[in-house]
Structure 1
Amino acid sequence: MPRQVDHGSRRRLIAEAVCHLAEEHGLEGVTIRDVAARAQVSLGAVQRCFRTKEEMLVFALGHISERISERVQARLLRSPAQSAGTALGHAATEISLLREEHRAEARVWLAFVAQAAVSEALARTLKANYAALQEAFTRLISEADVVPLDPQREARTLLALADGLTTHVLIGHLTPHEAHDVLHAHLTSLWEQPGPASSLP
């Protein structure tokens, strides 16, 4: 009797292989043959799971995005009584991937961002991810005790800052400690902004 293949597990195994190769070399030179060798499956097995290389990369991007999102959710659930401002800080810290244990993940994420500049399918996936994060940030900012004038704009700014700090740490322009300081200072200034009432003459 032929052995049953768990295609979901195999697709995740292949996605992990893509991520390992992206961390080491970027995505430009990654081939389906490379991925099959790293995942220790046949070339045909990869091709049965994914019709094209682009389809495989889109799935791998979704895989790593889901992993980061699950970690953010787990961090928030550990402290359900925290304020919206504290929750926002935890979420922004997780997304910026500044910890040493997340350095490999940060390299993979930036490899996908770079590839998305020339891949419409990857760009669509990234835009959807960023839209969901922006919505979550906007909600947390809106729920805070001191609400800035434009929560959506502030959410956009914070998301761009977190992403930029990832790059600055990876290339060595900032240390993780310096990046944390920048993020903390921005979050602190966020709650110190004058609200609508104080802007009246």
Structure 2
Amino acid sequence: MPKKVDHQERRTLIADALMRVAADQGLEAVSLRHVAAEAGVSAGMVQHYFRTKDEMMAFALSVVRERSQVRVTEAIARLGVDPSPRLLLRTMIAALLPLDEGTRDDGRVALAFLAYTAVRPAAAPSLREGTRQLTGFIAGILPDGHGDAAAAGLLALMEGLGVYLLGGQYTAEQALGALDAHLDLIFA
């Protein structure tokens, strides 16, 4: 009887390898050969699951999104029933920031993918849709008088804080302090 192969498991193994390569060496180092070596599989196997680098990148971003969604969902669940909008937003944004070693790799990949889409617009549609959905969700939580512009500002703050955290310019405490100060302005 032939061996059963879990294709999703293999795709995730390859995506995890891609994320390690991207986090350690940057996106420019991502190639079928480098990812295969990191995953401990053949380049042919990588090509079987991902025909192009763009396909690998899109899948890696989807893995980062899934991990982020799990972090956000778990963090919000710990808040209990009916948290305040400010606490809900703070918790969600804090869960998305690269505040510790475990989330820094995902943050590096997400940042690298943002840069990647700046020069490859064809790779950006899923990113645009995710941003649109997140902006709409945040706008729906904000107090009256605030809307899409304030939600976009919060997302820009989150991305900027993420860049500063990854670059070492801010500590986790500084980033959370800046987030709290901005939320205080919105929810004053």
Same fold by TM (over 0.5)? yes
Distance 1:102 1:6 in 2: 26
Distance 1:74 1:160 in 2: 23
Larger radius of gyration: 1
Distance 1:151 1:74 in 2: 26
List per-residue Cα deviations over 1:29-86 (Å, max 9, x = no partner): 2110111111112212111111212111111111111111121111112223222221
Aligned to 2:97: 96
Structure 2 letter corresponding to 1:118:
V
SS in 2 for 1:164: helix
Q: Is the 8 A contact 1:97 1:103 kept in 2?
A: yes
Distance 1:139 1:28 in 2: 38
Residue range with higher mean Cα deviation, 118-127 or 82-91: 118-127
Q: Say which of 137, 148, 155 aligns to 1:152.
A: 148
List per-residue Cα deviations over 1:143-179 (Å, max 9, x = no partner): xxxx241322211110110010011122232222111
Aligned to 1:58: 58
Aligned to 2:182: 186
Residue range with higher mean Cα deviation, 91-100 or 110-119: 91-100
Task: After TM superposition, list the pairs within 5 Å mapping 1:42-121 onto structure 2.
Answer: 42-81=42-81, 82-121=83-122
Aligned to 2:35: 35
Q: Is the 8 A contact 1:138 1:151 kept in 2?
A: yes
Aligned to 1:174: 170
Aligned to 1:198: none
Structure 1 letter corresponding to 2:78:
R
Structure 1: give runs of 5+ residues left out of the alignment.
Answer: 142-146, 193-201
Structure 1 letter corresponding to 2:51:
R
Aligned to 2:9: 9
Structure 2: give runs of 5+ residues left out of the alignment.
Answer: none
Q: Is the 8 A contact 1:116 1:123 kept in 2?
A: yes
Moved over 4 A (4+): none
Q: CA deviation at 1:124?
A: 1.6
SS in 1 for 2:113: helix
Q: Is the 8 A contact 2:139 2:146 kept in 1?
A: no
Corresponding residue pairs, total: 187
SS in 2 for 1:117: helix
Aligned to 2:20: 20
Structure 1 letter corresponding to 2:119:
V
Q: Is the 8 A contact 1:148 1:191 kept in 2?
A: no
Q: CA deviation at 1:100?
A: 4.2
Distance 2:160 2:169 in 1: 11
Distance 1:183 1:126 in 2: 23
Structure 1 residues 163 and 14: CA distance shift in structure 2, 3 A: same
